[in-house]
Amino acid sequence: MTDSDNTSSKDRLEEISVTEVSDQVLQELSGLFGSRESEMVVEPDGIIEPSGASVTDIVGSANAVPENDTPRNFDLPDAENIVIIDPSVEEILRLELIDPLLNGMAEDTGTLVVIDDDLDRVVIVDDDRPDPTFEERQRRSRRRERLQKVKWLKLAGAIAASVVVVIAVLASPIFAIRSVTVEGNVYTSKEVLVSVTKTLKGASVFTVDTHRARELLLADSWVSDVRITTRFPGKALVEIAERVPIVWYVGDDQKARIVDARGHVIAVLAGWPTKYLRVAGVGPSLEAGAVADDVYRAAAQLVLALPDELRPLVKSLEVSGGGELAMTLAGGTLVRFGPPNDLQSKLVAVVVLLRRQNPSTLAVIDVSTGEPTVQVR
């Protein structure tokens, strides 16, 4: 460094004098910077250290001249450009520059943005976006619901598949019916029995259509009831309850109709049977399986109710045009029952009377009114 440079530096140091600064300014500077613990002081040897000295001390130290009266060269070319930055001061200045009305707005729901280059330009950003955690919970909830639906669909599919597999196994030929046994058939049609056997044979004991086989048998006029049971591994038992023929009558077509105790026409025959009691007169020409008039049902029930001592004496029954019922005994005695009602009490009266008198001496017994009257020969 040349002598001229040292001379200029000395001149600059001499220009700063404490006496040139007023006491008021020194006090304000001391109040502003004297209490800060972060003050940095440049020591004469060039080391910057924190100090609690006031501005006056700093300036005094700056004017101090060493004993040799020669200023020291610190080799700090930018020492006069040191800037002390305090964030709190900048914040205060920034708030003072903003309009107080805008400060109130900034406390609202929106976000206040001030452009540094243009303090008159203020942008309010409304930050009302939904909480991202809420959206995440919503997505997770919807995902759980989808997974639950998929779970139930898979369970239903598994159950359906299991049912199909079980049905396929049960319907397999392994459990097919190979033997069919029929019991109770006497008058049942042979053709119907063959059809039922074909329906049952070959079908699985677990899935066989016994209802169809039962309907085929009940279509036969002789069949009253049917029970079909299957037995593991491949057997079927058919039990048939046939109708019991009681009486018969001649229709308009001169064919005999056999009637059971419930009035069902069991069969239609071209010839006249001899095993059953005949109901004299001409009745309706009904087909097998139809139900006859109540008077024929009453006649069949009367025959079933005959006691053993009276049954051998009965020759025939008769139905009049008015629907009244009568009975002829072997000795020629005529018993009039009248309308087919209260037949049980009327029959009891006839039995008591015949026990007291010889039937051969009686021409007519009339119990149609409930009170027996007799006509002697």
Provide CATH 3.40.50.11690 ranges for the chain: 245-376
pTM: 0.53
Per DSSP, helices labelled H in 35-131 are: 55-63, 87-97, 100-106
pLDDT of residue 124: 53
Backbone angles phi, psi at 225, to 5 degrees: -155, 155
> Residue for token digits 């008058």?
187
Q: Summarize pLDDT for 314-362 with one digit per residue, the tens.
A: 998 998 878 889 999 988 999 999 998 888 899 999 999 988 888 888 9
Tell me the CATH architecture of domain 245-376.
3-Layer(aba) Sandwich (3.40)
Establish how many alpha carbons lie within 13 A of residue 300's alpha carbon, considering only the half-sphere containing its beta carbon.
24
> Which amino acid belongs to residue 154?
K
> Sign (positive/negative) of CA torsion 193, 199, 201, 206?
negative
For residue 363, what pLDDT band results from cuts at 50, 70 and 90?
Answer: very high
Put residue 338 in one of left, alpha, beta given phi > 0 → left and psi -120 to 50 → alpha.
left
Task: Determine the Cα–Cα distance for residues 40 and 171; give it in Å rounded to an integer.
Answer: 102
- Select the highest-mean-pLDDT range: 52-56, 134-138, 191-195, 337-341: 191-195
Q: Is 34 helix (H, G, I), strand (E, B) or coil?
A: coil
Q: Summarize pLDDT for 202-212 with one digit per residue, the tens.
A: 888 888 899 99
> Residue for token digits 């610190």?
74
Q: Pick 180 or 104 by higher pLDDT.
A: 180
Task: Determine the Cα–Cα distance for residues 31 and 27; give it in Å rounded to an integer.
Answer: 6
Provide CATH 3.10.20.310 ranges for the chain: 174-242
> Residue for token digits 């139905």?
319
For residue 248, what pLDDT band results from cuts at 50, 70 and 90?
Answer: very high
CB atoms within 10 A of CB 43: 11
Is residue 71 a contact partner of residue 10, using CB atoms and an 8 Å limit?
yes
Packing angle, helices 210-218 and 190-200, rounded to 10: 180
For residue 63, what pLDDT band results from cuts at 50, 70 and 90?
Answer: very low
**Long-range CB contact pairs, 302-309, < 8 A, 24+:** 302/327, 302/337, 302/343, 302/347, 303/246, 303/247, 303/277, 304/246, 304/261, 305/343, 305/344, 305/347, 306/347, 307/351, 309/351
CATH of 174-242, one of 3.30.365.10, 3.40.190.10, 2.160.10.10, 3.10.20.310: 3.10.20.310
Task: Determine the Cα–Cα distance for residues 55 and 377; give it in Å rounded to an integer.
Answer: 170
Report in angstroms the alpha-carbon separations of 36 from 21, 50, 58, 328: 22, 10, 14, 148
Report in angstroms the alpha-carbon separations of 318 from 206, 210, 249, 309, 375: 52, 43, 9, 21, 19
- 78, pLDDT greater than 70: no
